[in-house]
Amino acid sequence: MPLNHLQIKEILDENRAHECEGYGKDHICVQIASIAELPSRFGQFQVVAFWNNRDGKEHAAFVHGDVMGAENVPVRVHSECLTGDAIGSLRCDCRDQLETALKTIGEMENGILLYLRQEGRGIGFVNKIRAYGLQDYGYDTVEANLALGFRDDEREYSVAAHMLDSLKVKSIRLLTNNPKKINELAAYGIKISERLPLIIPPNPYNEFYLRTKATKSGHLLSIGDKVRLPEQGDQPIVAGMTSEQIGALHQGEDLVVGG
Ligand SMILES: [Zn+2]
Ligand SMILES: [Zn+2]
């Protein structure tokens, strides 16, 4: 059962009074500012709008079913990508990841997609497009990588942890292909009972993942000589990948810096 009007009122009253010293080294505190019904092509959701005390970023949670006080809630953390999520850009596969996560959650009893407003892995929209532009002009991918590849993951997971606490989730099953992410969320006190792999169906647009090779310069993904940089915090598995290719995705996590 999703939240009813009385429950929503209680949550909003409680959040108006909420104050804490914040999560993570940036001490970010978020409050639930509003909740509304959101029927979608992926099922019935409620959208939860978060207010943020530090940088004005308005994060969102898309909640399916009853999650307050629930155990083992499936959760996916997604970072905003305007070009991919909304426009269907093929420079990245953010939209495939987003749709697969929403479809997966929509088919389950309950679940949450945390949508973090940190475009281009936290560097912002303008810088992301600058990085794209550099690649178009054939610039060294390391330079583009510097612009696009770096982000403080701690920040992402501190906000995510606070959002899950605001939603009063008792424990989660994290939709990720990266076991390290479990430790990061756990460090903020989130109880993770299981890891669920995110497997996206193969299509002509994500074929480049199937050709992924681990390179010394990190998790750069290429098709022909076009280099693609990952924009989400962890990479998807495409149905049909070999175990070697899946392993290469994880290896890249430690090797973001170009070499
Ligand atoms: Zn707080
Ligand atoms: Zn993207």
Active site residue 155: yes
8 Å CB contact between 89 and 97: no
Tokens of 1: 């059962």
User: From CA 166, how far away is CA 162, in angstroms rounded?
Assistant: 6
Nearest ligand, measured from the Cα of 28: 1
Distance from residue 53's CA to the centre of ligand 1 (Å):
9
Q: What does pTM read for this prediction?
A: 0.88
Ligand in closest contact with the CA of 87: 2
Catalytic residue among 76, 95, 121, 155: 155
Q: How far is the CA of 85 from the centre of ligand 2 (A)?
A: 7
Using a 10 angstrom Cβ sphere, with 0-12 exposed, 13-18 middle and 19 or more buried, the burial of residue 227 is middle
CA 161, 167, 173, 178: dihedral to nearest 10 degrees? -30
Q: Which ligand is nearest to the CA of 230?
A: 2
From the candidates 66, 152, 153, 165, give the one annotated as an active-site residue. Answer: 153
Residue 93 appears among annotated catalytic residues: no
What is the 9 CA–ligand 2 centroid distance (Å)?
35
Q: Domains of the chain by range and CATH?
A: 5-199 (3.40.50.10990)
Q: How far is the CA of 33 from the centre of ligand 1 (A)?
A: 13
Point out the ligand nearest to the CA of residue 95.
2
Rounded to an integer, what distance in angstroms lies between the CA atom of residue 104 and that of residue 99? 8
pLDDT in the model for residue 230: 72
Residue 146 to residue 143: CA distance in whole angstroms: 5
Question: DSSP secondary structure string, 109-127?
Answer: SSEEEEEE--GGGGT-HHH
pLDDT of residue 227: 53
Question: Tens-of-pLDDT digits for all 259 residues of the chain?
Answer: 789 999 999 999 999 999 999 998 889 999 999 999 999 999 999 999 999 887 788 999 999 999 999 999 999 999 999 999 999 988 888 999 999 999 999 999 999 999 999 887 777 888 888 888 888 887 766 667 676 665 566 778 899 999 999 999 999 999 998 888 899 899 999 999 999 999 988 877 776 666 654 333 334 444 444 556 678 877 788 888 888 778 777 665 443 333 2
19 CA → ligand 1 middle, Å:
5
Task: Give me the residues paired with residue 79 across strands.
Answer: 116
CA 205 to chain centre: 20
Q: What CA–CA distance (Å, rounded) separates 111 from 93?
A: 22
Half-sphere exposure of 183 (CA within 13 A, CB side): 3
